[in-house]
Amino acid sequence: MLYSELARTYEKLETTPAKKEKTSIVAGLLKKSGEDLERVVYLLTGSVFPVWEKKEIGVAGNLMIRAISLATGFPESEVAGKFRETGDLGKTAEFCVSGKKQRSLVKRELTVASVFDTLRKVCVQEGPGSVDRKISLVASLLSSASPLEARYITRTVLEDLRVGVAEGILRDAISLAFSVGASLVENAWYLNPNYAEIARIARDSGEEGLKKVDLEFGRPVAVLLAEKAGSLKEAMRAYKNFAVETKYDGLRMVIQKSGGRVWIFTRRLEDVTAQFPDVRELALKSLPDGVVVDGECVAVEGERPLPFQVLSQRIQRKHGIGKMAEKIPVRVFLFDLIYRDGLLFDRPLSERREMLERIVIETENFRLADHLKNPDERKAEEFYRDSVSSGNEGVMVKNLDSGYHPGRRVGYWLKVKPVMENLDLVIIGAEYGTGKRAGAFSSFILGCRDPDTGDFLECGMVGTGIKEKSEEGLSFSDLTEMLKPLVEVEEGKRVRVRPEVVVEVAYEEIQKSPHYSSGYALRFPRFVRLRPDKSPEEADTVERIERLFRLQRGRSVTTSE
């Protein structure tokens, strides 16, 4: 398939807001993709590797400007100037290619395969000279690209495609293209979270092939997600047979062991085995072969759990991992068994817990989660208070008769926390400060997700809760350093950033607001913590904000000015 056809499809998707129409467009493309099907699916998601392979294109905006300059002959200063004008490096590349000042001696027609393969080469460049090699490879694509192709090659390189193909659209498009049930597509993805492979299976083997997709060691699976309960009493009333369990403030870990080897994945499907060599060693000693367990990893100081913010320092660590493991020791609490000589999704939690108790060799730092079966109200309240006073987040109330449904909030588990329902939001912009904060961002624009389009809608600004000094916690300078590589547009003191950083935010109340694109504003928002364990696609939606707004008790209908 020629890349020009994919580029024209991107353009259609970008200008089509309706979810149903987007699904139809994608399905039509998949039907005619032929041997390029998997490549097309990857490129529709703006990636060229499965998420767990931890390979990134690694070309930021300033390097992209150099590549555009090299490919078109425009001086870097002119490319940067056009970028400031358009606010979109994709459209900047489109402009420069349409009027480029130098012509290639040999111009090749780009195919989906050639673009895909070149981008994979960009990802694997390492060592001395790797930056120049990356720029050269990207420039080679732009040199052969049409203006429209250049727009989307650039956005793909920057991992900012902007065509609104969320996972739900891709799932439904595969279902439509190959006449298979959407639920079967989704269930297969839970066990093999790679829509490129799922699309191929759906095309080649239909529904029977999707039903045969199974867990594979070394590949992540989606985890069961909990819902929030208004109170402990409410959660306990939801089930006849239940357990109350400590809710830890840590990193969700799915640990696999097979053939004497261990893999560790997060709820975001990231492979963090290398970052947690201590957990790997604990799992090797404490777990039998051929199992997959679900649990939480918590940073500790003595017997006291530390906030997730401390543990987060280890998650993205690439160098000095051993020293960081010594500096921030961890403890793992296991609460579920999802594979033991076969999937256990259909077994009740009570049975899975008993099996887990039998197979785990518990140690001080690798143990089962604290768990209380069918307590009366007094014992449950006491358990809850003890959990919170010990530095944990709260408790989970779990249905002991329920199975394990990966990737879904199905009401099997309810979480109870002693605070208002915080929101997980994405930073989509910022403003530079003045005085002692000059040169750093001092307030941050928050975005909630529109589930239909995948866009992020403004719902407030936050600065409270962020520290002045790094030793006190996450500081303004820390967050500025994190966000600057993501800046897409600068307009005076305000910048727009690529939506990648998820933060947990507390607030006093939600108000209607004509000034924010979501239609709502958070009153007195306060930064609680970073959420590197969550992807932007897992951020709270505008629908949830609307629901919380309606549920506010005794509120007067106020409008934020």
Predicted pLDDT of residue 99: 87
Query: The dihedral of CA 349, 351, 354, 359: what is its sign?
Result: negative
Alpha-carbon gap, residue 193 to 186, rounded angstroms: 9
Alpha-carbon gap, residue 496 to 427, rounded angstroms: 9
Alpha-carbon gap, residue 505 to 490, rounded angstroms: 25
- Residue holding tokens 């001092």? 442
Predicted pLDDT of residue 436: 73
Average confidence (pLDDT) per 10 residues, the chain, 561 residues = 97 92 97 97 93 84 92 92 87 92 68 96 91 94 95 93 89 97 96 96 97 96 91 93 95 96 95 95 97 97 85 83 92 98 96 97 96 95 90 93 89 82 93 80 95 91 89 87 90 89 90 91 90 91 89 40 31
Alpha-carbon gap, residue 165 to 154, rounded angstroms: 17
Question: Is 247 one of the annotated active-site residues of the chain?
Answer: yes
Alpha-carbon gap, residue 250 to 296, rounded angstroms: 6
Q: Are strands 304-305 and 330-340 parallel, antiparallel or unpaired?
A: unpaired
| Amino acid making up residue 21 | E
Alpha-carbon gap, residue 422 to 504, rounded angstroms: 7
Give which of 214, 69, 94 is closest to 152, Cα–Cα. 94
Largest CA distance in the chain: 81
Phi first, then psi: give them for residue 366, nearest 5 degrees. -145, 95
Alpha-carbon gap, residue 109 to 144, rounded angstroms: 7
Predicted pLDDT of residue 211: 97
Contact, 494 vs 479, CB < 8 A? Answer: no
Predicted pLDDT of residue 553: 41
Tell me the domains of the chain and their CATH numbers. 47-157 (1.10.3260.10), 225-416 (3.30.470.30), 423-551 (2.40.50.140)
Alpha-carbon gap, residue 455 to 449, rounded angstroms: 6
Give which of 164, 8, 153, 163 is closest to 92, Cα–Cα. 153
Predicted pLDDT of residue 35: 97
Alpha-carbon gap, residue 173 to 91, rounded angstroms: 27
Contact, 221 vs 267, CB < 8 A? Answer: no
Alpha-carbon gap, residue 401 to 134, rounded angstroms: 53
pTM of the predicted model as reported, rounded to 2 decimal places: 0.76
From 22, 82, 134, 247, active-site residue = 247
